[in-house]
Chain A
Amino acid sequence: MKLQTICDIVNGNILNEFQDSSDYTKAFASDLMSDVLRFSMENTVLITGLSTIQTIRTAEITNLSCLIIARDKKVSCDMINLAAHSRISIISTQASVFEISGLLYEKGLKPVY
Chain B
Amino acid sequence: MKMQYFIQGGDFSAGGRASTEVKSIIKQFNISPEKIRRIAIALYEAEMNVVAHAFKGKMDVDLRPDHIRVVFIDEGPGIEDIDKAMEEGFSTASDEVRQMGFGAGMGLPNIKRNCDEMLLSSVPGKGTRLEIKVLF
Q: A residues touching B (Cβ–Cβ < 8 Å)? A: 31-38, 40, 50, 52-55, 57-58, 60-63, 78, 86
Contacts and interface: CB of A to CB of B under 8 A. Distances in A.
B84 interface: no
Given A35-B104, A54-B15, A60 B20 contact: yes
A86 B12 CA distance: 18
A98 B131 CA distance: 39
B13 A61 contact: no
Interface residues of B, number: 24
B107 A34 contact: yes
Nearest 3 A/B pairs, CB to CB = A57-B16, A33-B101, A34-B106
A62 B37 contact: yes
B106 A38 contact: yes
7 contacts: A31-B101, A53-B16, A54-B48, A57-B15, A57-B19, A58-B101, A63-B33
A28 to B, nearest CB: 13
Contact of A62 (B12, B41, B102, B106): B41
Interface of B: 12-13, 15-17, 19-20, 23, 33, 37, 40-41, 44-45, 48, 99-102, 104, 106-107, 110, 113
B19 A35 contact: no
B20 A54 contact: no
Nearest to B113: A38
Given A37-B110, A61-B41, A53 B101 contact: no
A40 B20 CA distance: 17
